[in-house]
Amino acid sequence: MKLLRHGPDGQEKPGLLDQDGQIRDLSGVIPDLTPEQLGAEALARLAALDPAALPLVPAQTRLGAPVAGTRKVLAIGLNYADHAAETGAVAPKEPMLFSKAVTSICGPNDVTELPPSSTRLDWEVELGFVIGTRAKAIAAGTGLAHIAGYVLANDYSEREWQKDRAGQFVKGKSHDSFCPLGPWLVTRDEIADPQDLSMHLSVNGETRQSGSTATMIHKVVFLVEYLSQFVTLEPGDVILTGTPPGVGAGMKPPQFLRAGDVVELGIEGLGRQRHEVVAL
């Protein structure tokens, strides 16, 4: 099942994608795709609906982030060995954890803001997952059961703010529009193996990233278990799992985004995003 939210920014309604790729409105069934709708029983009720009985939504309708009410965005750094190598870093033995402000979340095709003081705005295609049931100090081997579904994400990063402005990663990761999610939340049952998904990103039509979740160092199931030892994961929480090589900071010479650039990205089974970079 592919769940989504459609409509103007701040006025999104819940929906789903039917087998013909058409958007169907769910607002007559549930008020929104909130954390309360992400548990197994709630998802089963939605899966039992006949999409043909739901109202159609115009194809060109804006899509928002597919989950409302997210309280935490956690992210894993340097989680692909080849990406760590391109940045000159040593792959960490344990997951490197940082956070992004929830205000950085936006829709899958919304514009990407280029702040006035930004000099090194970079891209990162990432597999994200959304927690469906509370996870606290969970046992090994049980991590996937706590995931509601998977989502395409772009972990935009202002590298100067991230590395040179006397702060934690969160400073360079949290500006508005730096965490586009979607187009859909793809429920866990539709992704047979989250560690076997191709992923790509281009800038102005030129390929920058081409990789696979197969080269992830710390796998999805482990990340849920690991993170739950340090922080309680709640329904609606979003976890980003790292990026493959090809980021702007790793190019020789480095290349970063400018106003007018168009970034396009996708992950197998999770859809595509398109962003135009717009100067503030």
Domain containing 238 equals 65-279
Whether residue 241 has pLDDT greater than 80? yes
Give domain status of residue 43, yes or no: no
* Across 20-34, 57-71, 76-90, 163-177, least confident range: 76-90
Whether residue 131 has pLDDT greater than 80? yes
* CATH number of domain containing 119: 3.90.850.10
pLDDT tens track for 138-149 = 999 999 999 999
119 vs 113, 134, 265, 274, 276, CA distance in Å?
A: 12, 39, 22, 21, 17
Give domain status of residue 185, yes or no: yes
Give domain status of residue 57, yes or no: no
Give domain status of residue 60, yes or no: no
Give domain status of residue 91, yes or no: yes
Give domain status of residue 48, yes or no: no
Give domain status of residue 90, yes or no: yes
Contacts of 201 (CB under 8 A, 6+ apart): 123, 125, 154, 207, 208, 209, 246, 263, 264, 265, 266
pLDDT tens track for 184-232 = 999 999 999 999 999 999 999 999 999 999 999 999 999 999 999 999 9
The three-state secondary structure class of 210 is strand
Name the domain count of the chain. Answer: 1
Give domain status of residue 227, yes or no: yes
